[in-house]
Every structure is written in C-alpha cells, then in structure tokens.
Amino acid sequence: RLLSSELLLCIYDFLGRFDINYDVFKLRFLSEDSEPRLHFAFYLLNTFFAMLFAGVVTFITFCKNFISTSSEKILITTISTFVIALTQFVLVPYDTSSYFFIALFLLLLIQYLNKPDNYKLILLVLTLIISTINRESSALSISLAGALLYSKYKVSKQSITPIVILVISFILVYIGLRLQANHFRTNDGNLLMLNLTEPKNILGGFFGILLMAFPYLISNHKEQKNNITIFYLLSLPYIAMCFYTGILYEVRLFVPLFLTAIILSKYSQKHHVQQ
C-alpha cells in the first residue's frame, strides 16, 4: 500500500514547514505521545479523496446508463460519502483513496462498455495499476468488470479478453509489490475464529451483510440485481480474506462492496435515459 502511505508522509512533511498551532482543533488522544500533525495529515488526505470520490460518483449518476431520479442521484452520492465517513473510526490512509480509484475505474468502464476501444482499455489498465499500488482491494475492480462485461457480452471474446488483460496487470503489480516488501504473509495472520466467536466481530459481520443487502432493496430491475449478484460472487475471494485475516468489527472492509453495489443498483445496459 505504497501510494497512500507516501502521500500521507508528503502531507505530513509539508505541514512541518508551517508553524501551526494544533491546539485550536482541540484534539484529544488516548496516547500522550500521539502527534496532532500526523492526525491532521490523515484528515487532509482522506477529505481530499472523499471529495474526489463524491465528484466521480456524481459524474457516474449523470451517465445515460444510470437510471434514477434527481433525488436518487443526490441520495446515492450523499449516502455513499456518509458511509465512508462513519466507517473510518479505524484511521488509515488507504481506504478513502481506494474508494476513489474504484469509482474512477467504474466511470471509465461505463465509457468502455458504451463504445469499446483500445484507448479506453489502456486507461482502465492504468487506473487498475495505480489502484493496486494504493491497495490490493483494487481486485474488486476486476470483479466489477467481470460482472458488467458478462452482462453485456456473456461468455465471449469481447468479455474474456479485457478480463484477462486486467487480471494479468493486477497479478504482475501485486507480485511486484510483494517482492519489493520481501514477504507474502498477511499482516495479522488467521483471525477466522476471532471473527466467528467475538461478539463485536459477529455484529460487524451482520452490519456488513446489511450493507451488502441494501443495494438489492433499491434496485430498479432484475438486471441490476443480477449484476450485483455476479459482482458479489466474483468478489468471494475478497470476502473470504476479510473473514480470514480481517477484523469484521472494522466494517470498512465491506464498504468497497457496498459502494460498488449501490451504483450497480441503478446502472443498466438495457435502459437508457435521454440527456
């Protein structure tokens, strides 16, 4: 997760050039050696990418394939942004930026599906590469591409070729990052039993299920429900790793699934709106 970490350190160093009185923010920390400047750097980084995410989702809602009323467009963007904010009680530099890159990938994917060409496919690959350098949950972009390509082309050359290119790109970048780090182990090891036995993690799991179920409730047609289902099925490796090495109490793990699915709930290849 190099990109977001480097950006955080750059912001931290930049803030160090100024004589800022952080007492005005009235920050309170559990640990006495916590540093307000680093906390503020987290705030600036995540707020910046939250704004970019909201902007990209707004663009998506105005695509001709996005079937919704004006009120629904506003609500989807607002709810998505609020969910991001409310689930960031575990403060990390790479979550919000990863949501932006997934949303950007979806926007480019919609353009590619409307009029496929090699230039747009290259943009998708570049976005996936940058997203993978930022966070390995970029693999969900491949699940998303698989769901929408299958919805339009079924099992054919038009669907298989882009997926193969995206998968190879992801694997090469991911292996390169692992080799640079000189290890392939997970950060926290096997947490499966803790997730299945600790009450807080069980509650976190139920919350994740509710997040994943919500997009079904607001879907317009059977097409959207099918796309969401295929996306979830293709995302099973990610979901399995959440249970194996994640802490389900950190419900942010389910947020990229929710953000993608809630957009899919209003996306249609068969129904267009006049712009």
Q: Give this prediction's pTM.
A: 0.94
Q: What pLDDT does residue 186 have?
A: 67
pLDDT of residue 181: 78
pLDDT at 30 > cutoff 90 = no
The residue among 37, 13, 19 whose CA lies nearest residue 27 is 37
pLDDT of 201: 96
144-197 pLDDT per residue, tens: 999 999 999 999 999 999 999 999 999 999 999 988 878 777 667 789 999 999
**Identity at 254, one-letter amino acid code:** F
pLDDT (0 to 100) of residue 272: 59
What pLDDT, on a 0 to 100 scale, did the predictor assign at position 271?
Answer: 64
- Position 185 scores a pLDDT of 72
HEC sequence for the chain: CHHHHHHHHHHHHHHCCCCCCHHHHCCCCCCCCCCHHHHHHHHHHHHHHHHHHHHHHHHHHCCCCECCCHHHHHHHHHHHHHHHHHCCCCCCCCHHHHHHHHHHHHHHHHHHHHCCCHHHHHHHHHHHHHHHHHCHHHHHHHHHHHHHHHHHHCCCHHHHHHHHHHHHHHHHHHHHHHHHHCCCCCCCCCCHHHHHHCHHHHHHHHHHHHHHHHHHHCCCCHHHHHHHHHHHHHCHHHHHHHHHHCCCCCHHHHHHHHHHHHHHCCECCCCCCCC
pLDDT tens by residue, 205-262:
999 999 999 999 999 889 999 999 999 999 999 999 999 999 999 999 999 999 999 9
pLDDT at res. 56: 98
What pLDDT does residue 274 have?
46
Distance, in Å, from the CA atom of 89 to the CA atom of 158, rounded to the nearest integer, reads 42
Tens-place pLDDT, residues 117-143: 999 999 999 999 999 999 999 999 999
Q: What pLDDT score does 32 carry?
A: 83
Residue 115: how many other CB atoms lie within 10 Å: 7
